[in-house]
Structure 1
Amino acid sequence: MTDQPRRGRRPAGQSTRSVVLDAARAEFDERGYEAVSLRGVARRAGVDPGTVRHWFTDKAELFAATLGLVDIDPSAVARAAADGPVEGLGERLVRSVTQMWDADGGATVRVVVPAIMADPGLRTLLQHFLGAEVLGPIVRRLEVSDAELRSALAGSQVAGLMMLRYVVGVEPVASLPADDLAVLVGPNLQRYLTGDLPPVPPAR
């Protein structure tokens, strides 16, 4: 039987939040995004579930914190963008994403993206996180049979925009206001989301 961590006073210099984050990273690495629960993280960290919820309201926010995202919740941004008429969803999504990452001038993207790319475990976890928490709200909002394909295509456009704007710094994309980018790029996302797509041949 595996010994469970004891609940109690932490060693000097070891904050409860950092202990929870360490436990969460271990849980995500071992179990995968879908199988992890806040209660399981609390058990591993040796704290009460309420302590985990004091710092992180849900699993998506906890996972974002393990990636080094501070005060940023991509899943909340996706849910907010999806909350509204399907018409205009592409423009809302571009505007919401760019405003979120513009808050610190793109510094978070420039730090987090290379760290994720250098860590195979994080790349795998990020794939599941994006599917469940970021693209998921869009899939549910579209309510069509090819919603997963459409949302993934839109996500590829957003990912490319983020790389050009924040990591590579290609002008004038890097310095355009978020509203202007939304007007320019939003229609491309909207075509992916609701427009006519050419037929895709079946996989061999």
Structure 2
Amino acid sequence: MDTVSEQSTTASATGSKRRGRRPGGSDTKGALIDAAREVFAESGYDGATVRGIAQRAGVDAAMVNHWFGSKEGLFAEAVLRLPFSPKDLVAQLLNGDQDTLGERIVRTFVTTWDEAGGGTFAAIVRSVTSHEQAIHLLRDFFIRYIFSEVLRSTGSDQQLFRATLAASQMIGLGMVRYVVQFDPLASADIDTVVTAIAPTLQRYLTGEID
């Protein structure tokens, strides 16, 4: 059966469930992923509902099971899958003088997070108390994929300890700026944040910590 015929057959079989909403094609899948990131960021895993995500996306709730199998599957697709290569990110962070490494890291992350309104980071953090995979992702991303790799290039001592210190700084920053939104840090401009936090991160990476 050709693609057009398949789509027509699918539409006939499920049309009664959609009630005039978006057709169940690949655009629906993308809309659900975008809506899920927003809802998980706002409510965390436990607080998000399939119905609420589908309503945000403008589709029938049955489309969640159709494309992802369950809320768990949608969470894995929308939040737990990294939207970029950690290897490429590390290469970008290391592209410059080692003495300004902390500044580049803070600026890169805050700029990226600001553009997404906290985005995936907020969704993961709001879900760590109820979803074990979110904990693993947060730990692996910051410690294993980012800071351990960055520190390997610096030749610093106590690399694992330094990686956890650096992760605590960036996760804490993300929590305050995007999740609990404590002002004035939550609304401070990027240059102000970089100036205040980069020296501490730099010390964790290359300075004295004993």
Asked if TM exceeds 0.5, the reply is yes
- Choose the corresponding residue for 1:83, options 95, 99, 104: 95
Quote the Cα distance in structure 2 between the aligned partners of 1:65 and 1:83: 31
The correspondence of residues 126-165 of structure 1 with structure 2, limited to 5 A, is 126-165=138-177
What are the ranges of 5 or more consecutive residues in structure 2 without an aligned counterpart? 1-5, 11-23, 30-74
Q: Name the residue aligned to 1:97.
A: 109
Match of 1:166 among 170, 178, 181: 178
**What is the alpha-carbon distance in structure 2 between the residues aligned to residue 114 and residue 149 of structure 1?**
25
In the alignment, the residues of structure 2 paired with residue 131 and residue 179 of structure 1 have an alpha-carbon distance, to the nearest angstrom, of 25
For 1:193 and 1:81, the matched residues in 2 are separated by 13
- Which amino acid is the alignment partner of residue 174 of structure 1? A
Gaps of 5+ in 1: 1-8, 19-63, 199-204
**Post-superposition CA distance 1:20-70 (Å, at most 9, x none):** xxxxxxxxxxxxxxxxxxxxxxxxxxxxxxxxxxxxxxxxxxxx9745278
1:68 to 79, 90, 95: 79
2:110–2:190 CA contact under 8 A, matched in 1: yes
1:197 aligns with 2:189: no
- Give TM-score, length-normalised by structure 2: 0.57
Q: Is the Cα–Cα contact under 8 Å of residues 77 and 97 in structure 1 kept in the other structure?
A: no
After superposition, the CA RMSD in angstroms is 3.3
More helix by share: 2
Letter in 2 for 1:177: D
- When residues 137 and 164 of structure 1 are mapped into structure 2, their CA distance, relative to the original with a 3 A threshold, is same
Report which of the two structures shows the higher radius of gyration computed on alpha carbons: 2
The whole-number CA distance in structure 1 between the counterparts of 2:100 and 2:85 is 19
Q: Which residue does 2:135 correspond to in 1?
A: 123
Q: Distance in 2 between matches of 1:176 and 1:79?
A: 28
Q: Is the 8 A contact 1:67 1:112 kept in 2?
A: no
Residue 113 to residue 155, structure 1, CA distance change in 2 (3 Å):
same
Could you tell me which residue of structure 2 aligns to residue 178 of structure 1? 190
Count of residue pairs brought into register by the alignment: 145
Q: Decide whether aligned partners of structure 1 residues 117 and 135 sit closer, same or farther in structure 2, where only a CA change above 3 A counts.
A: farther
Q: Percent identity?
A: 32
Distance 2:208 2:138 in 1: 29
Shift of 1:155: 1.4
Q: Contact 1:91–1:186 (CA<8 Å) still a contact in 2?
A: yes
**Secondary structure of 2:98's aligned partner:** coil
Tell me how far apart the structure 2 counterparts of residues 119 and 175 of structure 1 sit (CA, whole Å).
29
The answer (yes or no) to whether the contact 1:79–1:134 under 8 Å persists in 2 is no
Q: State the secondary structure of the residue aligned to 1:180.
A: helix
TM-score computed with the length of structure 1 as normaliser: 0.59
The answer to whether the 8 Å contact 1:77/1:96 transfers is no
